[in-house]
């Protein structure tokens, strides 16, 4: 901690700074793909009753590919940023690719170092810090659980 931080009772917590990275706050404040969707083929609403996070995920799947995707909802920065970042990645992916990504992302949040190192995740690695905050993991997974619900093996 530097002196000016100390003087303000400021932050000396690397894990917390890692959790609230700028990219996450940016997606929270300016979510991507948070909109209506034309020709929706799949839609689901899931919530997290403990903290009131709600995500509606909307997919337009054509020929096994996610042609378009959007979300709606409200909640904490982690749930909203995760949803926003997820939709950016899913657009144009095949359903199988999307589910593989979801699997790697979920393993990263459960603290798997190999998953966290995977280049496949790209920007989504910004959410790796959530693994250090077990009570917040379900916030980060909410949108991904919607995806599983819509096109996962049990859908």
Partner 1 sequence: MNTTLALDVDRVRADFPILSREVHGKPLVYLDSAASSQKPSQVIQAMSDYLEMHHSNVHRGAHELSVEATDAYEGARERLSRFIGAQDPSEFVFTRGTTESINLVAYSWGAGLEAGDEIVLTVMEHHSNIVPWQLLAERSGVTLKFAGLTPEGRLDVDHVRSLIGPSTRLVGLTHVSNSLGVTNPVTEVARLAHEVGALCLVDGAQAVPHKPVDVGALECDFYAFSAHKMCGPTGIGALWARRELLEAMPPFQGGGEMISEVKLERSKWAAIPHKFEAGTPAIAEAVGFGAAADYLTSVGFEGIVAHEADLTSYALDRLLALDGFELFGPSTDRLGVLSFRYGDIHAHDLATILDRQGVAIRAGHHCNQPLMDYLGVDATARASLYLYTSRGEIDALVDALHVARDLFGGFE
| Residues contributing to the site for partner 1 (CB under 8 A) | 8-11, 13, 15-17, 19-20, 22, 25, 29, 50-54, 74-78, 133, 135-136, 139
Q: Could you tell me the smallest distance in angstroms from the CB atom of residue 35 to partner 1?
A: 20
Closer by beta carbon to partner 1, 30 or else 119? 30
Q: How many other β-carbons are positioned within 10 Å of the β-carbon of residue 33?
A: 19
Containing 57, the helix (H) or strand (E) segment is: strand 53-62
Shortest Å, Cβ 153 to partner 1: 30
Crossing angle of helices 77-90/137-151, nearest 10°?
Answer: 40
- State the minimum distance, in angstroms, from the CB of residue 46 to partner 1: 15
CB 52, min distance to partner 1, A: 4
Starting at the edge strand found earlier in the chain, the sheet holding 65-74 runs 42-48, 53-62, 65-74
Measured from the CB atom, is 10 or 117 closer to partner 1? Answer: 10
Closest CB to partner 1 among residues 76, 99: 76
Q: Among residues 44 and 51, whose Cβ is nearest to partner 1? A: 51
Q: Which residues contact 25 (CB under 8 A, 6 or more apart)?
A: 77, 81
Closest CA to 68 of 39, 110, 104: 39
The residue among 72, 92, 95, 96 whose CA lies nearest residue 84 is 72
Whole-number minimum distance, CB 128 to partner 1, in Å? 16
Is 53 or 68 the residue whose CB approaches partner 1 more closely?
53
């Amino acid at each position: 901690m530097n002196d000016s931080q100390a003087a303000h009772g400021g932050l000396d917590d690397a894990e917390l700074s890692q959790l609230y990275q700028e990219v996450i706050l940016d997606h929270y404040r300016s979510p991507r793909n948070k909109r209506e969707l034309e020709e929706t083929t799949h839609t689901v609403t899931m919530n997290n009753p403990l903290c009131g996070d709600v995500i509606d995920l909307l997919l337009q799947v054509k020929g096994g590919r996610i042609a378009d995707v959007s979300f709606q909802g409200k909640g904490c920065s982690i749930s909203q940023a995760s949803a926003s970042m997820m939709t950016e990645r899913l657009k144009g992916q095949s359903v199988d690719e999307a589910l593989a990504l979801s699997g790697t992302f979920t393993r990263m949040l459960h603290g798997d170092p190999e998953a966290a190192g995977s280049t496949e995740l790209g920007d989504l690695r910004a959410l790796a810090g959530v693994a250090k905050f077990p009570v917040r993991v379900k916030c980060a997974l909410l949108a991904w659980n919607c995806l599983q619900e819509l096109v996962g093996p049990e859908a």
